[in-house]
Amino acid sequence: MTQLPPFRRSRRPRVLDAFCCQGGAGKGYHDAGFDVTGIDIAPQPRYPFTFVQGDAVEFIREHGHEFDLGHASPPCQAHTRCQQIQGRHHPDLIDPVRDAFEAADIPYIIENVPGAPLHDPVTLCGAMFGLRTYRHRLFETTFPMAAPRHPQHTARTAKMGRPAREGEFLHIVGNFSGVALARDVMGMPWANRDGLREAIPPAYTRHIGRAFLTSRAQEVAA
C-alpha cells in the first residue's frame, strides 16, 4: 500500500497530480490556487511540491477521495503517431485511470495526446496562451472547461536538432536543442530535458484549475 504523507494544513483546495513527472501540470494548479500532491512510479527529485512515489492508479483508488480534484497524465506512447507507425506496443492506462477516479467519486481531468481515446476532450495549444510552442494536448474533464480562442498557426516550428531561429516555435520532443530556451517557453525553470519533453505547460492547468474553481463556486451559489 502506498503511504500518503501528511498534508500541509491549508485552506487551498487539494489536487492530486497523477503521473506527475517533474511537475508541469502541478505548477499550473499551484498557480491557480491549489495545494498540490504528485504521484509517480519513478523518483522525481525535481518535483516542486509534495511528492509520493508509487503506482498512480493504485494511489487514486486508495487516496483519491481525500482530494478535491484529480488530474492524470497517463503515458501517451500508446497513442502517439510515431509509436503507431513503428508498431510498438505500450500500456494504455486511460480506462483504468478513469475507473479509479470514478470509484473515488471526485471531479477529474485526464490529459493525453491527440488521437487518445478521451471522452469529449477539449484541445489546448500553446499559442492560445502566448507560448512559443504549439504542443497540442487533449483534456477530458468532468466539469465545464472552454478553450481560449485558437489562433492560426503562422509561425514555423524549428527543425529537430538545431536551435530555434527568430520567430520560430519550439518542438520540445526527443533530443531537442535549447534546454534553457525551452524552460523559459514552457514556464518550467527547474526542469531538465527529460522533464520538459514529458510535460504540459503550466499555463494549461492554470486555465483548467481556474475553470474548475469557477464551476465549483457557481454550484455552491446555485
Give me the mean pLDDT over the 104-108 stretch.
Answer: 98
Cell reading at 162: 538545431
The continuous run of DSSP H or E covering 77 comes out as: none
- Decide if pLDDT at 221 tops 70: yes
DSSP SS3 for 133: coil
pLDDT in tens, 8-64: 445 899 999 999 999 999 999 999 999 999 999 999 999 999 999 999 999 999 999
Buried b (16+ CB within 10 A) or exposed e, 170-202: bbbeeebbbeebbbebbbbeebebebbbbbbbb
The burial of 221, by beta-carbon neighbours within 10 Å (0-12 exposed, 13-18 middle, 19 or more buried), is given as exposed
Predicted local distance difference test score (pLDDT) of residue 222: 77
The full set of domains in the chain, from first to last, is 14-221 (3.40.50.150)
pLDDT in tens, 159-218: 887 889 999 999 999 889 899 999 999 999 999 999 999 999 999 999 999 999 999 999
Q: The whole model's pTM is what?
A: 0.90
Predicted local distance difference test score (pLDDT) of residue 10: 57
Cell reading at 149: 480562442
Banded model confidence at residue 3, pLDDT cuts 50, 70, 90: low
